Amino acid sequence: MKPGVNFQKIWALRNTGTCTWDDGYKLVFYAGDKAIDPYDFAFKKSSDFVSPGEGINIAINLTAPLAEGLYQGHWKMQNDQGQWFGTFLSVYIEVRK
């Protein structure tokens, strides 16, 4: 993608656990290049809550860095007690002029 381009990454997630993802649960930037301007997704409103067995599409807005190169970011779910769970959700991009 071109330098400085804003883009959206969408992940389709399913709650395969026994607890509802509600207030206090979040998808947190865990590792990678902060140059992609990452942010976290918090389950704040009831329309975001995910009961066991249900799914959700989570969209985050990112920005391609200005310098050419390969970039990556990795997010992971965190419960309301700050414990990590689930697999990594990742984005990989190449910036070219």
pLDDT tens across 30-88, in order? 999 999 988 899 999 999 999 999 999 999 999 999 999 999 999 999 999 999 999 99
Instruction: Tell me what pLDDT residue 96 has.
Output: 97
Sign for the CA dihedral angle at 96, 60, 13, 42 comes to positive
Rounded (10°) CA dihedral 94, 41, 81, 83? -20
pTM, full prediction:
0.92
Sorted by where each begins, the domain ranges of the chain are 13-54
Across 2-54, the runs of DSSP E, i.e. the strands, are 6-14, 26-32, 41-42
CA distances from 70 to 5, 33, 34, 37 (A): 14, 9, 13, 14
Beta bridge partner(s), residue 26: 42, 78
